[in-house]
């Protein structure tokens, strides 16, 4: 039996990779054979090879099973833009078949897999399909990352309703502090705890130096 979860967010750049990484670390400590999967990635830092994305490299490092880069990230684009735009520009079709095949192969090696999406729930992979369509096809349970800031309640509730619309298992949500705590921080999280129809898996504190987050004990609950 494989444990697989799809990690989405209320927007782009809200900490999906950080949340996924911390969950991978915690699952590894519990003895799972873990794998991070970033099927579609865009944006390459100059210090890396053209075909490699930083988020995917983090997953490669943190997965407890040994994986080749292409096993973690089958579709990688140099520019940072919406996947459907880059797919059209470079004439590279992002196919559900390849996404699913990659997941199938990871299931042979691991028993605890986190699949990180790109952007938010409805990120388009072509002119006609979104990431949500693939998640529905695979019937994957979903974890949502919420960036705690002004406006996060609206974004979180809209995203949660979209997830539930697909009749998927909404396995939990994580609060990520992408900036120092603002006024009414606790009130925002309390409202979300009461109104989101999913378990609260924990809160990630704000780190000015994001690299330090991987050396700290962050008590996130694993999704079920």
| Residues designated as active site | 38
- How far is C-alpha 145 from the geometric centre of its chain's CA atoms? 8
Torsion on CA atoms 179, 119, 133, 204, rounded to nearest 10 = -30
Residues making up the chain, counted from first to last: 224
Nearest to 137 by CA among 111, 115, 159: 115
CA-CA distance, 146 to 174, in Å (whole number)? 6
What does the DSSP 8-state code read for residue 211?
G
State the CB neighbour count (10 A cutoff) for residue 32: 18
Contact 14, 147 (CB under 8 A): yes
CA-CA distance, 125 to 67, in Å (whole number)? 25
State the CB neighbour count (10 A cutoff) for residue 70: 13
């Amino acid at each position: 039996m494989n444990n697989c979860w799809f990690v989405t967010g209320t927007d782009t750049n809200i900490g999906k990779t950080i949340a996924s990484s911390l969950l991978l670390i915690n699952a590894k400590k519990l003895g799972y054979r873990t794998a991070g999967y970033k099927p579609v990635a865009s944006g390459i830092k100059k210090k890396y090879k053209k075909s490699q994305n930083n988020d995917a490299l983090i997953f490669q490092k943190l997965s407890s099973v040994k994986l080749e880069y292409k096993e973690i990230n089958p579709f990688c684009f140099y520019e940072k833009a919406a996947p459907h735009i880059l797919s059209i520009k470079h004439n590279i079709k992002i196919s559900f078949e390849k996404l699913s095949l990659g997941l199938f192969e990871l299931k042979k090696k691991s028993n605890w897999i986190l699949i990180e999406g790109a952007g938010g729930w409805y990120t388009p992979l072509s002119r006609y399909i979104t990431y949500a369509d693939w998640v529905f096809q695979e019937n994957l349970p979903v974890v949502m990352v919420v960036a705690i800031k002004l406006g996060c309640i609206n974004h979180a509730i809209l995203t949660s309703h979209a997830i539930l619309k697909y009749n998927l298992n909404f396995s939990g949500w994580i609060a990520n502090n992408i900036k120092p705590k603002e006024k009414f921080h606790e009130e925002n999280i309390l409202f979300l705890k009461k109104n989101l129809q999913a378990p609260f898996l924990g809160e990630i504190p704000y780190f000015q130096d994001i690299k330090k987050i991987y050396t700290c004990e962050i008590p996130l609950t694993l999704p079920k």
